[in-house]
Amino acid sequence: MFNKLESLLAKTDIILSPEQKQQLVAYVDMLNKWNKAYNLTSVRDPEQMLIRHVMDSIVVNPFLQGTRFIDVGTGPGLPGIPLAIVRPDSHFTLLDSLGKRVRFLRQVQHELGLTNIEPVQSRVEEFTPEVLFDGVISRAFASLQDMLSWCHHLPNATNGRFYALKGLLPEEELTQLPSGVSLDAVIPLQVPEQEGQRHLVILK
């Protein structure tokens, strides 16, 4: 698995330490093990988890601005845990409403020694942060409109942004943004060995 990760990283500009690579592989090992009992992801093959979960998450890293992020509807920690591993100086709140997912996240936090994540069990509309976030990240929402209506209270007013991980570019959704929200950037993402389009939509 370590060699597979190295071969995937070699097709990108991403530079990671041996420890970071080891943590990413250990995360996939845990995800694969827990998935058998907890059904955390529909992806069953660990190599596919590396491509479709880990690489798909960390290619977003260069485009994030700030140090405080919340991953909304994180599920088994995607993209929050891979991003926390490759971005150790940033802090990630991992929000999910399902107890079994949050238990898994706490186990990952413990086993990998991740001090920069905070798993939280809550529905997003009921979650009130003590400090607002530089970035609200999600790849879970059906539409940008849902993300904005449920998460509008989370980013800070001065430079907070929404980062939506998408497949095909949601052009129709982008024409229907509510007032007060503007499109900052649309970035096509290149994920090695992943079929289909991937985009990062940044709103502010």
CATH architecture type of domain 1-203? 3-Layer(aba) Sandwich (3.40)
pLDDT at residue 34 in the model? 93
Is 196 one of the annotated binding-site residues?
Answer: no
For the chain, the domains span: 1-203
The H or E element containing residue 183 is strand 183-188
Is 125 one of the annotated binding-site residues?
Answer: yes
Is 139 one of the annotated binding-site residues?
Answer: yes
Is 189 one of the annotated binding-site residues?
Answer: no
Q: How confident is the model at residue 140 (pLDDT cuts 50, 70, 90)?
A: confident
Q: How confident is the model at residue 146 (pLDDT cuts 50, 70, 90)?
A: very high
Which contacts (CB < 8 Å, 24+ apart) does range 10-15 have? 11/192, 11/193, 12/55, 12/59, 12/190, 12/192, 14/58, 14/59, 14/61, 14/86
Q: What is the pLDDT of residues 60-114, one digit of tens each?
A: 999 999 999 999 999 999 999 999 999 999 999 999 999 999 999 999 999 999 9
Q: How confident is the model at residue 191 (pLDDT cuts 50, 70, 90)?
A: very high
pTM to 2 decimal places:
0.96
Is 102 one of the annotated binding-site residues?
Answer: no
